[in-house]
Amino acid sequence: MPGAITKGWRVKHPNTFDCEFGFSSMGDEIAAGWGASMAQSGPGGLGGTPIVMLGDGTYMMMNSDIYFAALTGHKMIVVVCDNGGYAVINRLQQFKGVPGFNNMLTDCRVRNKDNPLHVDFVKHAEAMGAKARQAESLADFEDAMKWAQGNDGPPVLSIVSDAWAWVPGDADWDVGVPEISNFESVRAARKSQDAIRINQRVGV
């Protein structure tokens, strides 16, 4: 999601876009949105409503600040892309030559693989005091976003997303790949990484 949003988002003003990258900060998104809401509504703030986009896996890591934003009345819109697990990490895992495991609900060691427990994110957010709505399509999502903009506090929108479709265009995610492996796919990923590193520029 960070890469996809960076490719598609058009920033209109400085200091209006924040993206978790680098060493990653999975789980900080909702807290960061609440912090941005406090800063933007305070003295000297830019105003406006922060929009927080995150996946269902990240939502499950840390969602409690929805409650505190509802408690304090700070406005932010939270968009939960429900793709059935940690799809971004699953993609990275497979890109580095490893068969996907333990990131998607369908390939985890769970009690019922065919029908894993699913969180109703709308009900969950409502239980923490937020108004929430499920979007069934992109057209429905547009209506839901208008609805969220007209509500106070931290409205939460949930939309089912495809875990396997990605925005075109990419860059290498330079995560270490073993030099020695019994898997041909890992050895191929290592060769690819070595070739990419030759063309890397040294920062200045």
Percent residues over pLDDT 90 in the chain: 51
Q: Checking phi first, is residue 183 left (phi over 0); if not, alpha (psi -120 to 50) or beta?
A: beta
111 & 127 share domain: yes
82 & 45 share domain: yes
Would you place residue 23 in the very low, low, confident or very high pLDDT band (cuts 50, 70, 90)?
low
136 & 148 share domain: yes
pLDDT tens digits, residue range 139-153?
A: 999 999 999 999 999
What integer pLDDT is reported at residue 204 of this predicted model? 60
Would you place residue 22 in the very low, low, confident or very high pLDDT band (cuts 50, 70, 90)?
low
More confident: 154 or 27: 154
Position 185 pLDDT exceeds 70:
yes
140 & 100 share domain: yes
Q: Are strands 156-160 and 77-82 parallel, antiparallel or unpaired?
A: parallel
Position 173 pLDDT exceeds 80:
no
pLDDT tens digits, residue range 111-137?
A: 777 777 889 999 999 999 999 999 999
Residue 82, strand partner residues: 160
188 & 100 share domain: no
Position 8 pLDDT exceeds 90:
no
The arithmetic mean of pLDDT across residues 24-35, rounded, is 87
Question: CA 90, CA 95: separation in Å to the nearest integer?
Answer: 9
Q: Quote the domain boundaries for residue 200.
A: 174-204
Alpha-helical (H) ranges within 23-127 are: 29-41, 56-61, 65-72, 87-95, 121-127
Tally of domains within the chain? 2
61 & 147 share domain: yes
160 & 180 share domain: no
CATH of the domain at 138: 3.40.50.970
155 & 190 share domain: no
181 & 121 share domain: no
What integer pLDDT is reported at residue 17 of this predicted model? 84
What integer pLDDT is reported at residue 38 of this predicted model? 93
Q: Over the chain, what is the mean pLDDT?
A: 88
96 & 44 share domain: yes
Question: CA 136, CA 138: separation in Å to the nearest integer?
Answer: 7
99 & 124 share domain: yes
What integer pLDDT is reported at residue 5 of this predicted model? 81
Residue 70: burial class (beta carbons within 10 Å; 0-12, 13-18, 19+): buried
Other Cβ atoms closer than 10 A to 9: 13
The arithmetic mean of pLDDT across residues 173-193, rounded, is 90
82 & 181 share domain: no
Question: CA 2, CA 83: separation in Å to the nearest integer?
Answer: 15
